[in-house]
Structure 1
């Protein structure tokens, strides 16, 4: 089964932790999701923002990786992201305008700052 991962930070090609996705191949394409960047992410202070999906947010640019290998990488990626993030399925818009389903690591819902949680 082919799966997708939307990345917006350190896991993107050229990012500090891109090597964690090396086994999944190089089928990347530009994409966007709608949401906010939240200052509560574990890595925000060192340049790793946390994304919160929200319909009233702004488009957030990233990349989508499509790979059958992702299924075997989920346990490693889940451990890397830790408890502050949750892997959820969402719709993303790729560069062609097509909407596809992809997983994304979003700031855990219990950690959203008030300005995001109440929008």
Structure 2
């Protein structure tokens, strides 16, 4: 997994920032439903949304992470059980997306490193 920032021991392995189909109420929310956790609202990552990746044809553009980019709204799923599910979620996202760790702004307690799927 490539990383924008963060890494082992920073807690990022228990956080997933989502901006599209994995969010509650969206088409692929079922992917995270088996995982116990909580959602944090109001997060932002920097980057650009593009009509790329398998989700683009379904109305879900892919994110290109760019620390100098525009703010993109995200919801953050927090669960100590996420490490047990990364392989399954990675397989669901497929080859069009890769998981990286990036800083998420706007969360309680300040910016936090979180996993996120980006087009790559």
TM-score (normalizing by structure 2): 0.82
Give the count of matched residue pairs. 108
Query: SS at the partner of 1:22?
Result: coil
Q: Which runs of 5+ in 1 are unaligned?
A: 109-119
Of 32, 40, 60, 1:48 maps to 60
Question: Larger helix proportion, structure 1 or 2?
Answer: 1
Off by >3 Å, runs of 4+ in structure 1: 94-97
Of 106, 110, 115, 1:94 maps to 106
Shift of 1:26: 4.0
Q: Which runs of 5+ in 2 are unaligned?
A: 1-10
Shift of 1:36: 0.1
Q: Using CA pairs below 8 Å that are at least 6 residues apart, which structure has the higher relative contact order?
A: 2
> Is the aligned partner of 1:20 residue 2:21?
no
> Is the aligned partner of 1:33 residue 2:45?
yes
> Which structure is larger by alpha-carbon Rg, 1 or 2?
1
